[in-house]
């Protein structure tokens, strides 16, 4: 990139940040950039296509670079989430998964390739993410999240993206995020449909407010099937929600969820609200 082009992008990013400071409400979650903080030439070039967005700019970029995000599950949803967050310049990315890569994963789990079969998914994912963006601190955790370890895993995290495929994990993560006040992006996909929901504990409805109990006899992915691009859409929406929550550049899908039917290409916002007696998020 030429010096003049780089200079132009930096000036543009600064101008957009200044204009946004004057007109936009304060970010929901992001810390303000510390005085004197700036982007390096390499960062300006790497992130140039998002820096020029009027909704983004240097302030959002710096907020993202200071954020720690935990991605639970390195599968069909976790792959696009982790790829987009690493590519966008998240500061620290934890990847939690206790499975190893299987041949039947490869049609939809884009972080894993044929030579990775048998390798722990957390390690396989971390290796690709470090290639994508060496500036991101990637921390693989080869374990399964449950009610006993969720709180410890959430320590120091600014946000969690739940990409697990298990309802017990989902409810344990929701409860831990509510207890710890950690924002959460939930997602799920099966066949050609899915849902996405963002949760700001204490402020918006949590997963249990929307779904008080897990469905009975919910089909498993292995039985009901899933198409790779459908998981890609849902995971991409989760990544976008995470970026919105961390920077405040746009409203998240909160107090309800987005229902995605990719067979009919219909997206529907379903509203819900906090339950006063929710065992996870009620303040009592
Ligand atoms: Zn709740």
Determine which helix (DSSP H) or strand (DSSP E) holds 140, and give its type and residue range: strand 137-141
What per-residue string of b and e applies to 108-147 under the rule 16 or more CB within 10 Å gives b? bbbbbeeebeeebbbbbbbebbeeebeebebebbeebbee
Question: What's the gap in Å between 276 CA and the centre of ligand 1?
Answer: 8
Residues classed as catalytic: 221
pLDDT greater than 90 at residue 179: yes
> Which pLDDT band holds residue 24 (cuts at 50, 70, 90)?
very low
- The predicted pLDDT at position 6 comes to 57
The mean per-residue pLDDT over the stretch 260-266 comes to 97
> pLDDT grade, residue 244 (50/70/90)?
very high
- Residues 192-227, buried b or exposed e (16+ Cβ, 10 A)? bbbbbbbbbbeebbbbbbbbeeeeeeeeebeeeebb
> 156 burial class (0-12, 13-18, 19+ CB within 10 angstroms)?
exposed
| Gap from CA of 66 to ligand 1 centroid (Å) | 28
pTM for the full predicted model: 0.87
Q: What confidence category does residue 215 fall into, taking pLDDT thresholds of 50, 70 and 90?
A: confident
Distance in angstroms (rounded) separating the CA atoms of residues 200 and 185: 9
What pLDDT, on the 0 to 100 scale, is given for residue 58? 92
Cα 28 to ligand 1 centre (Å): 19
pLDDT at 216: 80
For residue 274, report the distance from its CA to the centre of ligand 1, in Å.
6
pLDDT mean across residues, the chain? 89
Q: How far is the CA of 126 from the centre of ligand 1 (A)?
A: 32
CA of 168 to the centre of ligand 1 (A): 16
Could you give the percent of the chain with pLDDT greater than 90?
A: 80
């Amino acid at each position: 990139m030429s010096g003049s082009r780089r200079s132009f992008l930096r000036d543009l990013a600064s101008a957009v940040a200044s204009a946004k400071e004057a007109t936009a409400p304060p970010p929901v979650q992001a810390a303000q950039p510390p005085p004197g903080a700036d982007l390096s030439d390499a960062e300006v070039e790497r992130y140039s296509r998002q820096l020029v967005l009027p909704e983004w700019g240097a302030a959002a970029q710096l907020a993202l670079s200071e954020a720690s995000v935990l991605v639970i599950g390195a599968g069909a949803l976790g792959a696009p989430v982790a790829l987009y967050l690493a590519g966008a310049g998240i500061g620290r990315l934890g990847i939690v998964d206790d499975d190893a890569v299987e041949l039947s994963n490869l049609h939809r789990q884009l972080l894993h390739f044929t030579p990775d079969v048998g390798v722990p998914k957390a390690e396989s994912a971390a290796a690709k993410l470090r290639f994508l963006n060496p500036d991101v601190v990637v921390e693989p955790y080869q374990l399964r999240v449950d009610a006993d370890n969720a709180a410890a895993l959430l320590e120091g995290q600014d946000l969690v993206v739940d990409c697990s495929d298990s309802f017990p994990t989902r409810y344990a993560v929701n409860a831990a995020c509510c207890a710890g006040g950690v924002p959460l992006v939930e997602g799920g996909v099966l066949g050609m449909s899915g849902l996405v929901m963002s949760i700001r504990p204490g402020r918006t409805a949590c997963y249990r407010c929307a779904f008080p109990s897990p469905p009975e006899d919910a089909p498993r992915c292995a039985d009901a099937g899933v198409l790779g691009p459908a998981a890609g859409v849902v995971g991409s929406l989760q990544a976008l929600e995470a970026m919105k929550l961390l920077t405040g550049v746009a409203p998240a899908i909160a107090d309800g969820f987005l229902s995605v039917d990719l067979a009919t290409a219909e997206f529907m916002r379903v509203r819900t609200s906090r339950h006063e007696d929710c065992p996870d998020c009620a303040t009592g």
